[in-house]
Amino acid sequence: MTLELLYVGDNCETIEKLVSTADVSVCVVKTPDDALNRLAVAPFDALVVSDTVSDITTFLSKVDTDPSSLPIVVETESATTLPAGVYDEAVPPAAVDQLTDIVDALVSDATSPATTRDDSRISLGDGGVSTHNVGTSSFAEGVGNRTFANAVVRGLPDVLFLADLDGNLLRWNDRLNAVTGYTDSEIRSSTPSEFFQDGLDVREKVTEMRDDTDIRFTADLVTRDGSVIPYELTASLVDCGGEQYICGVGRDITERREAEQQLDEAVEELEESNTELEQFAYVASHDMKEPLRMVSSYLELLERRYGDQLDGDAQEFIDFAVEGSERMREMINGLLAYSRVGRQTRDFERIDVGDVLDTAQSNLRIAIEESGAVVEAGELPTVHGDPGQLTQLFQNLVANAIKYTDDGRPRITISAAREGDEWTFTVSDDGIGIPKHRQDSIFEIFSGEGGQSGSGIGLAICEKIVDHHGGRIWVESDGDSGTTFHFTIPDTGQSGDEGTL
C-alpha cells in the first residue's frame, strides 16, 4: 500500500528521502495554513510536522480538534518541548525509515478492532523516548475513516484529482498513474496542457465553473507511450480556508466513443440504403409508366374498334383490365410522389398554415363541390416548413375524408393547438371510420386507407411529410363513424419569431 503523507516543514534532507522512498507519496507544504487547507480537501494517511514550523503547538492543537483526526508524527530532536496530547509519535529529523515504520504501525493499529493502542511507545534511540496516550475509539474511528476513504479513492476505476486554479495537480489517485504511465514526480512536474492532445485552457474552465458550478467536457488524454485515450471530465470548484481548488473526476469513454462511431456508421449506411431505395422506387415507377400507358391505350383502342363485336363477357373482361390498369397508374403515380418526399426538398421557411389549407382546398375544389363537403377551420398558426409538402399533407387528409364518407355531405373540421414547443394539428371528419384492427397499419405503404379501395399511398405520404418536418402523426377512430387525424409540427422559432395564431 502506498502511504499518503502530508509533510509540513522545510527539512530538505527529509523531503528528498521521502520523495525517493518507494510506496510513499508525499505532499510538501511549508506553513500551517497551507497544511490546514490541504487537510480540508484531501485525505492523508498521516501528518508529519517538523518542529521548526512556527507556532507548531497551536497548529497541532487545531489539527487534533478535527473529529476525524489522523496520525500525527513530529520530526524533532526532543519530544519534551511539545505538550502531551497534540501528537502521536516523534522521530529524529531525516529518519525516514523509522518514520514510515511508525506510520505503518499507527495506521494498521488504528484500523484493527483488536488493538486499543493505549500507551503506544516508540524509541527515538539516543535522542530519548516519546510517550503519548491515544484515545482508542475516536482515534481508531477517525483513522479508519480516512484509511477507508483512501482505499475507496485508490480503488476507483475513474481518475480523481485535486488541482489549484492554475491546473497544477496537488492530489490524485493511483488510477492516473496507471492510465498515463507517469510516476508521481512526473505528474507533479507536468503542466495541464501536457496531459491532453489539444492542450487545456484551465483559466477558461475555471471561469465556466464559476458561472455554472460544475462543468463536463471531453478531452483526449495522452499517455507516456503516446497513446490517446478519450476522457470525459467533470469538475467543480471547492472552497477551503478562503482558497479555491479544482476537484474533478475523469472517466475513460473509449467504449462509448466506439459505440457512438459504430452508431454513426450504421446511421450513415441506413441513410445511404434509404436513398438508394428511394432512387430505385422513383426509377422503377417512372419506367413502369410507359408500358402501362401502352397497355391502357391498346385496351381502349380494342374497345373502340371491336366493342360492338364483343359479347357481354368480353366487354366485362375489357372493363376489368382497363380498371386494373387505371388502378396501377394511380399506384405508380403515388409511388412517384412518395419517393419524391425527402428527395426534392426546398429550404424550410415561415409559412401561414391557413394559406396552405386554402391552396389544398383550391386543388380539391371539384371534389369538394361534387360531394358538397363542408370544411371548417379555426385559427391556424405560422410554422417553419416546406409549403409544398404541407399543402400535400392537408390535401391528402381532406381528400381522404371526402372519399370515405357516408351518403351525406362530408363535414371536416381542422384546428391547431400549441403544446410545449410544437403545434398539434387535428383533422376530423364524420365519415365511415377506421376499424380498430386497421389503425396500427394505416400509414404503411399500399395498406389501403380506411380498409377501403385506394392506392394505399396517400397516408404513407402524409407520414413521410410529417416525419420530414420532425413531427409525428397518429389516428383516432371508434371504428364505426368518424375519424380524427393528429399530427405535430415542431415550432423551431427560426427567423427570429415563434409560431403564432
9-13, 122-126, 133-137, 359-363 — which one is most confidently predicted on average?
359-363
pLDDT band, very low/low/confident/very high, at 235 (cuts 50, 70, 90): confident
CB contact burial 229-238 (16+ within 10 A = b; e otherwise): bbbbbebeee
Which of 146-155, 273-282, 381-390 comes out lowest in average pLDDT?
Answer: 146-155
pLDDT band, very low/low/confident/very high, at 448 (cuts 50, 70, 90): low
User: Is the distance from CB of 143 to CB of 44 less than 8 angstroms?
Assistant: no
Which of 37-51, 159-173, 255-269, 476-490 comes out lowest in average pLDDT?
Answer: 37-51
Distance CA 397, CA 462 (A): 8
The predicted pLDDT at position 342 comes to 61
Distance CA 230, CA 197 (A): 10
Apex CA 115: angle with CA 130 and CA 6, to 5°?
55
The predicted pLDDT at position 496 comes to 38
| Tens digit of each residue's pLDDT (9 = 90 or more) over 95-107 | 877 877 777 776 6
How many percent of the chain have pLDDT more than 70? Answer: 77
Q: Which of 81, 144, 84, 92 is nearest to 122 (CA)?
A: 92
Q: In sequence order, what are the residues at sequence separation of 6 or more whose Cβ sits closer than 8 angstroms to the Cβ of residue 163?
A: 169, 170, 192, 202, 245, 246, 248
Q: pTM for the whole thing?
A: 0.45
Q: Which of 22, 32, 20, 21 is nearest to 6 (CA)?
A: 32
Topology annotation, domain 256-340:
Helix Hairpins (1.10.287)
How many CA atoms lie within 13 Å of 214's alpha carbon, on the beta-carbon side? 9
Compute the average pLDDT of residues 244-260: 90
pLDDT band, very low/low/confident/very high, at 140 (cuts 50, 70, 90): very low
Would the pLDDT of 127 be above 50? no
Residue of 123 and 105 predicted with greater confidence:
105
The predicted pLDDT at position 314 comes to 85
- Cα 477 → chain centroid: 38
The predicted pLDDT at position 96 comes to 78
The predicted pLDDT at position 495 comes to 39
pLDDT band, very low/low/confident/very high, at 115 (cuts 50, 70, 90): very low
Would the pLDDT of 18 be above 80? no
Compute the average pLDDT of residues 56-70: 67
Apex CA 236: angle with CA 231 and CA 242, to 5°?
145
3-state secondary structure 319-367: HHHHHHHHHHHHHHHHHHHHHHCCCCCCCCEEEEHHHHHHHHHHHCHHH
CATH of 156-252, one of 3.40.50.1000, 2.70.170.10, 3.30.450.20, 3.50.50.60: 3.30.450.20
The three grid cell numbers given for residue 58, joined into one nine-digit string: 497551536
Task: Output the CATH code of domain 1-155.
Answer: 3.40.50.2300
37-41, 169-173, 326-330, 372-376 — which one is most confidently predicted on average?
372-376
Topology annotation, domain 349-496:
Heat Shock Protein 90 (3.30.565)
Distance CA 28, CA 38 (A): 10
User: Is the distance from CB of 234 to CB of 215 less than 8 angstroms?
Assistant: yes
Torsion, Cα of 460, 461, 466, 469 (10° steps): 140
Residue of 408 and 386 predicted with greater confidence:
386
The predicted pLDDT at position 194 comes to 82
The predicted pLDDT at position 149 comes to 59
Distance CA 298, CA 304 (A): 10
The three grid cell numbers given for residue 499, joined into one nine-digit string: 409560431
User: Is the distance from CB of 87 to CB of 60 less than 8 angstroms?
Assistant: yes
User: Is the distance from CB of 364 to CB of 399 less than 8 angstroms?
Assistant: yes
The predicted pLDDT at position 428 comes to 94
pLDDT band, very low/low/confident/very high, at 296 (cuts 50, 70, 90): confident
What are φ and ψ of residue 214, in 5° steps?
A: -135, 155
pLDDT band, very low/low/confident/very high, at 109 (cuts 50, 70, 90): low
Residue in the block written with cell 518541548: 81
The three grid cell numbers given for residue 420, joined into one nine-digit string: 410545449
**R_g of the chain computed on alpha carbons:** 40
DSSP H helices in 156-310:
174-180, 184-188, 202-212, 254-306
Distance CA 173, CA 153 (A): 6
The predicted pLDDT at position 70 comes to 75
Of the chain, the end-to-end C-alpha distance in Å amounts to 70
Residue of 30 and 375 predicted with greater confidence:
375
Q: Where are the domains of the chain?
A: 1-155, 156-252, 256-340, 349-496
Distance CA 349, CA 487 (A): 19
The three grid cell numbers given for residue 427, joined into one nine-digit string: 383533422
Q: Considering the chain, what is the average pLDDT of its residues?
A: 78
What are φ and ψ of residue 108, in 5° steps?
A: -70, -40
User: Is the distance from CB of 334 to CB of 458 less than 8 angstroms?
Assistant: yes
